[in-house]
Amino acid sequence: MRKRLPFLLGAALTTGAMLVAQPAAAATRAAAPLSCEGLAKAAMPDASTTITLAALRPATPAEQRAANDPRPFPPAPAMPAHCEIIGKLQERQGANGQTYAIKFHLRLPVAWNGRFLFQGGGGSDGFLGDATGGFSSQPGVTALAKGYAVVSSDSGHDNAVNNDPARQGVVTFGHDAIARHNYGFGYIGPVAQAGRALIRAHYGRAPAFTYFVGGSKGGQEAMMAVQRFPSLFDAALIGYPGFHLAHASIAQLWDGQAFASVAKAMGQIGADGQPLVNKAMSDEDILLAQGAILAACDGLDGTVDGMVEHFTACTTARVMPAFAKITCAGDDPAQKTATCLLPMQVAALRRVMGGPQTKDGKPIYSDWAWDAGIGAKTASGVTQGWRIWKMGGYASAVNNGALIRLGAPSNSAVFRSPPLEVAEDVSSLTRYALAADMDEAYAAAHVKWGALGEASVDFMHADATDLSPFTRRGGKIILFHGVSDPVFSINDTMRWLDAVNAREQGKAGRFIQFYAVPGMNHGRGGPATDRFDLFSQLVAWREKGVAPKEVVATAGEDTPWPGRTRLLCPYPQRPHRISGDSEKAGAFRCQ
């Protein structure tokens, strides 16, 4: 494991450090503030920068929707009056005749609170982002509405432009070495510097504090921000980070093959002749598995309530006897009943939860926590947040799992060298995922390639344990992760935290705090109290020295117990039942 990451893009970082370090006296000598429209001609740190939009926007109310609105994305939040800016920099001609640029989206509120927030991306990025600074655990709440200037970015490629159906579609950028580098972390410094320059030009002063907020791929970007660009950021809220994404993508291939073997044995074959991974377990089967986990581990925290608060004690050795009680007598599908799982289903589930390995038994990514969030019965049906990633929705007649639709193209184009050409249709992606060799995929993630001579692990993995360049400036980190996250393992995150703490001789708590969210899937969802405010804790810690403490979290409507509240405790504390109504956080204490 690397103990410290070198600074890259040195010239840009030097410029950024100068922007951060300018004394207050220099701010008073700055040029007169520019109007919103005038920012189109502002002097920028990177001379290649072009501002394509600079317009003043009036305040708008939150979008109103009917309860049965089918659109999958959330309604637009309320926005204050602000200056909206769209720009691009480092435009160039790249691989396969594609045009690439780093594009950014900045909103500068009229009623500015003096702070700047960098909004991380998600998935394979490639979209500009709304630059509102939303929080996965606080629907409808935005940093923009709180007065923060907010920037988002496409990370250096555009899904609408860099999209070749013969080369993984929106992951076409994986065939361009510089675009891969920018996706990994290279875009962060230039965009942060552009944002700071425009803030100074518009308001006449630099931001007092700069925050990075991101989850999933955005969480990986937040970790890269504090590790690679420590002089540009003061604090980071990091959610369920994909900081070992090159290896995590191999875990998705592993999962697909494990469940595909079950689907094939059960005769669940698609029209293209390939196993339907999503048919390996029905929703009812998932509920049987959840019941076994709860039977083994729910009571470990002192309260039987459908949540495994003491998740570190919920081991494979503890869970397997409970699974044995619900295992059918044999693997003949005719022996399958509503009250038992086939032995091969249990074996596949155990294989998946154990994590991917090479042929000689070397771990490739991580194992996973046994937790109740693999599926739960709610008023609207069985939760899908775990299975949609691990296998896919059961009803589909084609492979629809995110491990195939998102994992396979990313692994074949971005997280291996050299990239392979795989068509974006589901049959081609399924064929690649189910035929992949784990040892070869692992080796390919470590091959240096392209104009920058980088392996995928070089530009993607954010696992430095020496955070002193960030923390010596007073930098603070709050990190949270769902125990039932099916994409990035909480166990992997905790191993990194342990390594950081070991390097700090047990005193990492002075700059980093961690919250585990039992039952929560990838960023939200699952049988969990997944609505909470950690950002306010981060701001108070960084700006006022108030250390993070327990947080009250609430269960949403799509849980078995809407409105339930629980405490989220700074790890390694966990909630202990004291007295009172077990549906209320007040009945617990962090210990």
Per-residue pLDDT of 294-340, as tens digits, reads 999 999 999 999 999 999 999 999 999 999 999 999 999 998 999 99
**Residue 27 pLDDT exceeds 80:** no
Tell me: cis bond preceding 572? Omega within 30 of 0 counts: yes
Helix/strand/coil for 575: strand
Nearest to 474 by CA among 235, 188, 236: 235
d(CA 415, CA 419): 8
- Tokens for 222, please give them: 């937040």
Q: Which residue has the tokens 């991306």?
A: 121
pLDDT of 13 > 60? The answer is no
Tokens of 364: 């490739």
pLDDT of residue 11: 29
> Residue 87 is which amino acid?
G
At residue 169, the pLDDT reads 96
| Tokens representing residue 28 in the block | 């008073």
- Would you say 486 and 390 are in contact if contact means Cβ atoms under 8 Å apart? yes
pLDDT for the residue 7: 27
pLDDT over 90 (residue 513): yes
The per-residue pLDDT for range 370-429, each reduced to its tens digit, is: 999 999 999 999 999 999 999 999 999 999 999 999 999 999 999 999 999 999 999 999
pLDDT higher at 565 or 10: 565
Question: pLDDT confidence of 4, banded at 50, 70, 90?
Answer: very low
Beta bridge partners of 575: 590
Q: What is the C-alpha end-to-end distance of the chain, expressed in Å?
A: 32
Residue 74 has pLDDT above 90, yes or no: no
pLDDT of 16 over the 60 cut: no
The secondary structure of residue 79, as a DSSP letter, is B
Residues in contact with 350: Cβ distance below 8 Å, sequence separation at least 6, in sequence order: 316, 320, 323
pTM exceeds 0.75 for this model: yes
d(CA 356, CA 248): 9
Positions of E strands within 197-269? 209-215, 235-239
Catalytic residues: 216, 485, 522
Q: Please determine, for residue 26, whether its predicted confidence score (pLDDT) is greater than 70.
A: no
Question: Mean pLDDT score of the chain, rounded to an integer?
Answer: 93
Question: What's the pLDDT at 30?
Answer: 52
Encoded amino acid at 484, one letter: S
| Confidence band for 64, pLDDT divided at 50, 70 and 90 | confident
Q: How far apart are CA 479 and CA 504, in angstroms?
A: 17
Mean predicted confidence (pLDDT) in 6-11: 29
Q: SS3 string of 24-68?
A: HHHHHCCCCCCCCHHHHHCCCCCCCCEEEEEEEECCECCCCCCCC
- String of b and e for 543-579 (b: at least 16 CB within 10 Å)? eeeeebebbbbbbbebbbbeebbbbbbbbeebbbeee
CA distance 80 to 77: 10
List Cβ neighbours of 231 (8 Å cut-off, separation of 6 or more). 13, 16, 17, 20, 21, 469, 473
Express each pLDDT in 335-357 by its tens digit: 899 999 999 999 999 999 999 99
Q: Which pLDDT value is given to residue 130?
A: 96
Q: Which of 98-102, 143-147, 238-242, 579-583 has the lowest mean pLDDT?
A: 579-583
